[in-house]
Amino acid sequence: MIILETKDLKKYYGNGETMVRALDGVNLSVEAGSFTAIVGTSGSGKSTLLHMLGGLDRPTSGEVIVDGEKIFGLKEEALTIFRRRKIGFVFQNYNLVPVLNVYENIVLPIELDGKHPDQKYVKRIVQTLGLENKTNRLPSHLSGGQQQRVAIARALAAKPAILLCDEPTGNLDSKTSLDVMGLLKVTSRQFEQTIVMITHNEEIAQMADEIIRIEDGKIAGENRRVKSQGEDVIA
């Protein structure tokens, strides 16, 4: 089942000869439960694409469809609510609230939405990410890798339709980056969570189920991964 789709998505800045085509007719689709990496160099349009997928910015033209909803057909307040309930974000800089402990950070978006956290589900996420002994700690008492785990847990706790990751390993050393990527793969499979990640790191991208490449605001091609004897291989 397709959970995320774009149709002729365009984002232009400026006019005439100075016009920048950050996105120039992007068409892509993402299967529910898959882990997709969008790979591109600086200036390729990958960050702009992520912002469009998450409803953080509006396109010049085209559509983004998330869980059957054409998100840019929504008014601003409705889009904000939809984004909070259906789209999880994991950013490079963690964006944790420094005065809240780990557990409070994880459940904050749910409580801001006026709902009660699913305690069993949150506990399962916390255990999966190895945070069960850290729930009472403040972010300043955690390593970078641990803070990113909290950010992932926070994004998962609201049970979003899709999880968008913006260079999630950008501030981490190579070993911690691989650890975080391993956890993203585990959460994708264990929680049947759809994950879309942008990265410029080819090694990191290879850990995804599917790789989509973007160049000059256009999809340049993709490598699909298939399972063979319990392992992932490039098809």
Instruction: Note the pLDDT tens digit of each residue in 10-64.
Output: 999 998 889 999 999 999 999 999 999 999 998 999 999 999 999 999 999 999 9
Percent of all residues in the chain with a pLDDT value above 70, rounded to a whole number? 94
| Tokens standing for residue 79 | 């889009």
- What phi and psi values does residue 116 have, to the nearest 5 degrees? -100, 135
Nearest to 194 by CA among 166, 172, 225, 162: 162
Question: Is 69's pLDDT higher than 60?
Answer: yes
pLDDT of residue 110: 94
pLDDT of residue 174: 87
pLDDT of residue 61: 97
Instruction: Note the pLDDT tens digit of each residue in 92-144.
Output: 899 999 999 999 999 999 999 999 999 999 999 999 999 999 999 999 999 99
Percent of all residues in the chain with a pLDDT value above 90, rounded to a whole number? 79
* 149 CB burial (10 A radius; 0-12, 13-18, 19+): buried
pLDDT of residue 228: 33
Ordered by where they begin, the domains of the chain are: 34-44+75-234 (3.40.50.300)
